[in-house]
Homo-oligomer: A and B are copies of this chain.
Amino acid sequence: MEFLKKKVIRLLILIACVVGCCSQVEARVRQYKWEVKYELKSPDCYKKLAITINGRSPGPSIVARVGDTIVVHLKNSLITENVAIHWHGIRQIGTPWMDGTEGVTQCPILPADTFVYKFVVDRPGTYLYHAHYGMQREAGLYGSLRVLLKEGESEPFQYDYDRSIILNDWYHTSVQEQSLGLSSIPFVWVGEPDSILIQGRGKFDCNTPGIAAALCNASNPECAPYAMTVVPGKTYRLRIGSLTALSALSFEIEGHNMTVVEADGHYVEPFVVKNLFIYSGETYSVLITADQDPSRNYWASAKIVSRPSNTTNGLALFNYYPNHPRRDPPTAPPAGPRWDDVAPRLAQSNAIRARRGFINPPPQSTDRTIVMLNTQNTVGGLLRWSVNNVSFNMPHTPYLIAYKHNLLNAFEQRQPPDGYDAAAYNISAPPPNPNATISNAAYRLKFNTTVDIILQNANTMNPSNSETHPWHLHGHDFWVLGYGMGKYNGTTGKLNLVDPIMKNTVAVHPFGWTALRFRADNPGVWAFHCHIESHFFMGMGVVFEEGVERVGELPSSIMGCGETKGFYKP
């Protein structure tokens, strides 16, 4: 009897233990089954082929908690096309082969293949995912990835509800035709987008001359504007990501201020804006309180800035419950800021600092500084973009595998230059000699060193023209040490070493410079490139290798192309 009692007690203890463990904040494995295929979609009322996930574009949102493991079983159901998906903002610490960058970290996923992406989301924040192969992102293959705090933990700001939207621009011309034009002589530019999408919905004018009636239907429910329904008096955290192919945007909600609190997964020292400038590859969280006249709806608007575009502003509805979500506001949509006014954009960039109490201080000095002159160039008659006169092209064999397996013929071994002749180069005029070199050489960074990158903008091939380039770094966040206009003069006095924000994507403004610092502490090979789809396609990117000798055994699933065609099996 006593014996039985003891047994029961032991059993109860065991049960308590198990229950206790389970009720603990425990990391989950989140499984997703995705099928990638073409579908006819009318996100802006005009019907075109889009690459979808489970029939949707934007694809399904991933919502997870810090520490969770994301497992995406990606079935490629395109008939003759390959695919690869990048998890934008996830550093892939310990899993550099899961970064999803075709040519850098993996071979493309063949039709009928299922590739399993598996990685841990180790930080809270607002992230994105999208195709990273050719220009497929632009065909509609993108979505959002939201990482919440662990249960029981709380953000350093208050809100009632959490919402996500993605801003995008949209072209009716196919990606195949665009990429052909970009790599043709004479060059055929992609032009301004046909529309701006807010959470996958826009409005192209079906009465535009030359548009076949069968292809455009203004009353298609697919292009009904996105409505964000709010309860009067409540505060909303709105997570905004941009995955535009080309456009820099200004986003605003008529009559409502926005308090910026997060950028690319990092807390921002709060500041209030009427309109938010956002560049492709960036994410922000803003807080919005529904504190205006609740008897009506308000416009949310996304306008192209930094380029003279005739594209109609993207519109959505900020819908005060219980007004009908399709009810147009009584007022005209906001006109938005002037497209060519750089000052407020630069001001916003400078305003973004790490939140007090959450400052991750940068190393106070650097081990290596790479100055990257951004120029438009020609190579053998082709129009290209270059860094220090080197225009990037993707090698045939993914770098990660080539480095790890010592396939030294897979790409050019001589590193690209760490700078340019700053004294001699006039950034305010078109390049006197626009010839550049095409190369797939990579930068090798010493592991665990501190690296500074100075992105130096310049005049394009056209007089008095310089563009905004949002640069995105894979596998890391960098500290944004500062921005400036004109030529970076090498003095570090004006750099912010106190409370710089960390980001994964940052703009270099027209004729300006941006200074970044990061730690080369994530073993792997990582792309760093302009997030404008056509610019990267035209060579505006570089690749960093760091600590590849510390990378574990590569999964064979990433092999199968270039020099790795045929690897690892009998």
Q: Mark A78-94, 1 if CB is under 8 A from B, else 0.
A: 01111100000000000
Q: Which of A82, A108, A559, A564 is packed against the most chain B CB atoms within 10 Å?
A: A82
In the complex, whether A122 has a CB less than 8 A from a CB of chain B is: no
Give bound CA distance, A492 to B564, whole Å: 55
Query: In the complex, how many angstroms separate the beta carbon of A367 from the nearest chain B beta carbon?
Result: 35
Give bound CA distance, A132 to B247, whole Å: 39
Contacts of A210 in B (CB 8 A): 212-214
* Copies of this chain per assembly: 2
In the complex, whether A346 has a CB less than 8 A from a CB of chain B is: no
Give bound CA distance, A477 to B297, whole Å: 72
15 other contacts beyond A79-B134, A110-B110, A111-B134, with CB at 8 A cut-off?
A37-B180, A49-B174, A79-B135, A80-B134, A80-B136, A81-B81, A81-B82, A107-B110, A112-B562, A174-B174, A210-B214, A557-B565, A565-B569, A566-B568, A567-B570
Give bound CA distance, A570 to B82, whole Å: 25
In the complex, whether A348 has a CB less than 8 A from a CB of chain B is: no
Contacts of A135 in B (CB 8 A): 79
In the complex, whether A556 has a CB less than 8 A from a CB of chain B is: yes
Least CB separation from A569: chain B residue: B566
Quick one: which of B37, B179, B396 contacts A112, CB cutoff 8 A?
B396
Interface hits, A187-238 → B, CB 8 Å: 210-214
Q: Which of A80, A83, A133, A565 is packed against the most chain B CB atoms within 10 Å?
A: A80
Interchain residue pairs with CB less than 8 A apart (9): A37-B180, A39-B180, A80-B136, A82-B111, A112-B562, A113-B562, A210-B213, A566-B566, A567-B570
Quick one: which of B111, B179, B559 contacts A108, CB cutoff 8 A?
B111
In the complex, whether A40 has a CB less than 8 A from a CB of chain B is: yes
Contacts of A559 in B (CB 8 A): 565-566
Evaluate whether A49 and B177 lie within 8 angstroms (CB atoms) in the complex, with A82-B110, A113-B396 already known. Answer: yes
In the complex, whether A560 has a CB less than 8 A from a CB of chain B is: yes
CB distance B566 to A556 under 8 Å? yes
Q: Which of A108, A110, A113 is packed against the most chain B CB atoms within 10 Å?
A: A110
Give bound CA distance, A80 to B561, whole Å: 13
Interface hits, A543-568 → B, CB 8 Å: 556-557, 559-562, 564-568
Quick one: which of B40, B133, B566 contacts A560, CB cutoff 8 A?
B566
Query: In the complex, how many angstroms separate the beta carbon of A51 from the nearest chain B beta carbon?
Result: 10
In the complex, whether A448 has a CB less than 8 A from a CB of chain B is: no
Interface size of A in residues (CB-CB distance below 8 Å): 44
Give bound CA distance, A39 to B184, whole Å: 9
Contacts of A212 in B (CB 8 A): 210-212
In the complex, whether A176 has a CB less than 8 A from a CB of chain B is: yes
Contacts of A81 in B (CB 8 A): 80-82
Q: Which of A83, A112, A136 is packed against the most chain B CB atoms within 10 Å?
A: A112
Contacts of A179 in B (CB 8 A): 79
In the complex, whether A38 has a CB less than 8 A from a CB of chain B is: yes
Evaluate whether A113 and B565 lie within 8 angstroms (CB atoms) in the complex, with A136-B80, A213-B210 already known. Answer: yes
Query: In the complex, how many angstroms separate the beta carbon of A73 from the nearest chain B beta carbon?
Result: 15
Q: Which of A176, A210, A396, A564 is packed against the most chain B CB atoms within 10 Å?
A: A176
Give bound CA distance, A107 to B107, whole Å: 15
Give bound CA distance, A277 to B174, whole Å: 37
Query: In the complex, how many angstroms separate the beta carbon of A522 from the nearest chain B beta carbon?
Result: 27
Query: In the complex, how many angstroms separate the beta carbon of A566 from the nearest chain B beta carbon?
Result: 4
Q: Mark A325-352, 1 if CB is under 8 A from B, else 0.
A: 0000000000000000000000000000
Interface hits, A505-561 → B, CB 8 Å: 556-557, 559-561
Give bound CA distance, A562 to B396, whole Å: 20
Least CB separation from A39: chain B residue: B180
Interface hits, A71-129 → B, CB 8 Å: 79-83, 107-108, 110-113
Query: In the complex, how many angstroms separate the beta carbon of A461 from the nearest chain B beta carbon?
Result: 24
Query: In the complex, how many angstroms separate the beta carbon of A164 from the nearest chain B beta carbon?
Result: 28
Least CB separation from A133: chain B residue: B80
Contacts of A569 in B (CB 8 A): 564-568
Interface hits, A40-67 → B, CB 8 Å: 40, 49
CB distance A110 to B112 under 8 Å? no
Quick one: which of B177, B560, B562, B570 contacts A565, CB cutoff 8 A?
B560
Give bound CA distance, A107 to B566, whole Å: 12
Least CB separation from A564: chain B residue: B569
CB distance B565 to A176 under 8 Å? no
Query: In the complex, how many angstroms separate the beta carbon of A220 from the nearest chain B beta carbon?
Result: 17
Query: In the complex, how many angstroms separate the beta carbon of A430 from the nearest chain B beta carbon?
Result: 29
Contacts of A560 in B (CB 8 A): 560-561, 565-566
Contacts of A557 in B (CB 8 A): 565
Query: In the complex, how many angstroms separate the beta carbon of A37 from the nearest chain B beta carbon?
Result: 8
Q: Mark A231-269, 1 if CB is under 8 A from B, else 0.
A: 000000000000000000000000000000000000000
Quick one: which of B38, B80, B180, B565 contacts A82, CB cutoff 8 A?
B80
Give bound CA distance, A213 to B82, whole Å: 34
Contacts of A396 in B (CB 8 A): 112-113
Least CB separation from A559: chain B residue: B566
Query: In the complex, how many angstroms separate the beta carbon of A113 from the nearest chain B beta carbon?
Result: 7
Least CB separation from A214: chain B residue: B210
Q: Which of A37, A135, A559, A560 is packed against the most chain B CB atoms within 10 Å?
A: A560
Contacts of A110 in B (CB 8 A): 82, 107-108, 110, 561, 565
